[in-house]
Structure 1
């Protein structure tokens, strides 16, 4: 019998979340962001599930696009970080990719290239994230250079990335919006602005294209909640089983360093999951877990291949009991990956993308 740990990927939930993104912005087209192996869910399987719905996909780099093309995915694919060297433009052209342009050297390389067909290009402007993009004062000149080369570049858009669209305080988001709106007004440029939080909460940011990412996988990126976020469905359910049970006296420690000590005579269950699978070692005592659909908490540090949980209040649980680390239990109970992330002092992105290849993914279409 195989080790019981696996991830169930609900492709119907993925499609539901994509449709939600589209319904929130009916005047926009929605890129489906598949970078980082579709946030740990499997880019090829997710692309195949979304290809009938999504007009285009987005990835971080050429290698991710090559994987999708090799699997037969035909939709346009945007390279969100553009090219990393000028010689990648041959593959961009051969694979029919779209490119973001965020720096002078990329702009020069694109304009020096002689494609058989013009390459769709999205100019990235830095409105305050301060990672990639042209400062607004320089973006207009870059735009004009691209527009003056229709034999090399086509389908120009402006894009930016929001630093605080997830935050309750809208001040900095509004500052960024004002900058890109002013620039777009001067250029008459179509926009691609809205990431997941802006798609969920800021209709002002809905442009010609939006680019929902983590929301497609059922995670709420907002600091709070709104009705749209509550309608998201979890796509990944990380499942395992109890593989051993120990009874210990009050005061006895559990796990490395003895961080957790039993406050009473306790039953401790051992789960087949650990940081060697990508489950976060920083999970604190009490991090929630579903055992047979009922909540209980971790007891002790996560090990490489195992974690321990306090079963004292679940007398019916034992060896073989089903475990959900996050996602939806067969009973219908849901443990949000966002809630688990808070106990690990991190975000859902790191939990989902951190699940390692030794954890099998099983795909369910309906």
Structure 2
């Protein structure tokens, strides 16, 4: 299943239903979703795919997209007496139409896509992205919206009340943003990590803007948060905000306890929230964006490296077929694993690889202007596809 290609919702939907039928309580579902990293804006796994081999072939953006879709489906099935696939998809599309009513570009999705599945695929792609421009996304990899769980909460509110979800989302976003910024004020000097998180938060906002004038903690109306999930999400956002530098100072801990009390949580629940957050961040540190942001060029290469790997794995059969018809290229590639190619041989490899990329639509990125700079990464991965007889350096 490829979440970046058309038709993925139809193929994936049975998996989402299977998870929905487990009938988790609101608390248990939230804890499961948090364990994937979705709540922390760093999805590293999904609710429906526990197989690590499946996840290796997915980008962070695709994993986030699956988690958002699964969360919406689970919410629908938990709220409906006679749920059906078609009604589920139509309800989600109708919800987003109301939520995005002030976004003119959003309605282009509805105009050119006929089925609910097609519309929803485009909607989810639009929702998971931040408001950064393309260049910034390429270099920072801040490609997913940090406040996506608000969509899930708003959808639940919409199903329960049938009210316009826009006002609810706007209110929730404003309260959450103000609280997170107050948590930031508990820090002394802001390092690059905190600045990056602040930028991610700012580029995730849909309905409000960050201003220099904040409400004080006492002025915030936490009583508007009624459900366990609303309160727990705010607490978890605050936890990951203050711990972004991998330290929890005394004043930051006091702030979290103060917030927990305002949300009617015991100190035990606050401590558990902190422990869960610390465990997740430490376990998945290497996969989390802001912990690897010290060198923009290195970070860009790392992300590109992963993208090329995903492309190769998804087109493995087609690539092997094309390579088998180009014996000279296979010989040169296998030779490159043992010794340096001369300039003429390198040029042949480049030319023949580009010809192969032309025959595989998904690899069109390599034949675009500037795409040839990615060829060394492509060359690095291709020997792994070749029969073992060609790869003398392979260790069994």
TM-score over 0.5 (shorter chain): no
TM-score range, shorter chain: 0.3 to 0.5
Bigger RCO of structures 1 and 2 (CA < 8 A, at least 6 apart) = 1
Q: TM-score, normalised by structure 2?
A: 0.33
TM-score normalised over the length of structure 1: 0.35
